[in-house]
Amino acid sequence: MAKVVFTKEDKINIIKTPLILFAICLVAVALLAAMNKVTEGPIAQNEEKAMMQAMQTVLPASDYLSLTVSESEGDCTVSRASAAVDEKGELLGYCISLEKTGYKDTVSVMVAVSSDAKTVLGVDIVSQNETPGLGSKITKDNFLAQFFGTPAPVSANVDTISGATVSSSTVVSIVDTAVVCVQNHQAAWEKEGAK
C-alpha cells in the first residue's frame, strides 16, 4: 500500500472547506430567519382578514366576540370560536372555525350555528387543497347551499358529492362537529358574556 502524504496546503484545505460551507449555511439560516420575521406579521394579518371575511360570509354581524374553546372537538381541530352580535349586542349565533383532514389535505371550514345550537346558519370553506375538479367541488355554492338553515345533525339532511365522497363527507362531519362544539360550550360561553 502506498502511503498518502499530505502537504501543508492540503491540511489547510481540509479545514478550510468545511469552515466555508459552515459559514455559507450560517448566512443562509440567518437570511431565512430574517425573512420569516419580516413576513410573519403580514401572514397573520392575512389569516385574520380571511377569518373575518369567512365569519361575515356565514353570519353577517356588527361584531364578533372571541370565545374560549378547547383545541379539539371530536376528530376536528378548533381554531376559533366567536359569538356574532348585532349593533345592540344581541346574540345572533356562533361562528366556529374547524379543520379536519380530507381526502388529500386539511380542510378548514367556518360554520355558523344558531344561538340555540339547533340549526346551521351558514358554511364557508376557508381553505382546502383537495383534488382539483373532484374534491374541490366542496367550495361550490350548490354544495354549500344545502347547509343553510339545516337542522342538526346535518349528516341526515345533506347529500355528499359523487366522486368526492371523502372530501364532502369531511365537510359534513366538520359541520356536525361545530354544532356539537356549540352545544358543549354554550353554557360556559354565556358566562363569558355571549348571551
Higher pLDDT, 83 or 167: 83
Over 70: is that where the pLDDT of 80 sits? Answer: yes
Assigned C-alpha cell, 104:
388529500
Per-residue pLDDT at 193: 63
d(CA 92, CA 43): 30
Assigned C-alpha cell, 36:
420569516
Q: Give the percent of the chain with pLDDT over 90.
A: 17
* Strand ranges for 23-140 from DSSP E: 63-66, 72-73, 76-85, 91-101, 106-114, 119-127
Q: What would the mean pLDDT of 113-129 be, rounded to a whole number?
A: 87
Helix (H) or strand (E) holding 150: strand 150-151
The reported pTM is 0.75
Nearest to 134 by CA among 172, 168, 175: 168
Q: What would the mean pLDDT of 23-31 be, rounded to a whole number?
A: 93
Per-residue pLDDT at 69: 80
Across 101-105, 159-163, 172-176, which has the greatest mean pLDDT? Answer: 172-176
CA atoms within 13 A on the CB side of 134: 12
pLDDT band, residue 23 (cuts 50/70/90): very high
Average pLDDT of the chain, as a whole number = 84
Q: DSSP state, 85?
A: E
pLDDT band, residue 111 (cuts 50/70/90): very high
Q: DSSP state, 76?
A: E
The DSSP bridge partners found for residue 106 are 101
Assigned C-alpha cell, 130:
383537495
Q: Give yes or no for a contact between 183 and 194, defined as CB atoms under 8 angstroms apart.
A: no
Q: Give yes or no for a contact between 173 and 100, defined as CB atoms under 8 angstroms apart.
A: yes
d(CA 144, CA 147): 6
Per-residue pLDDT at 194: 58
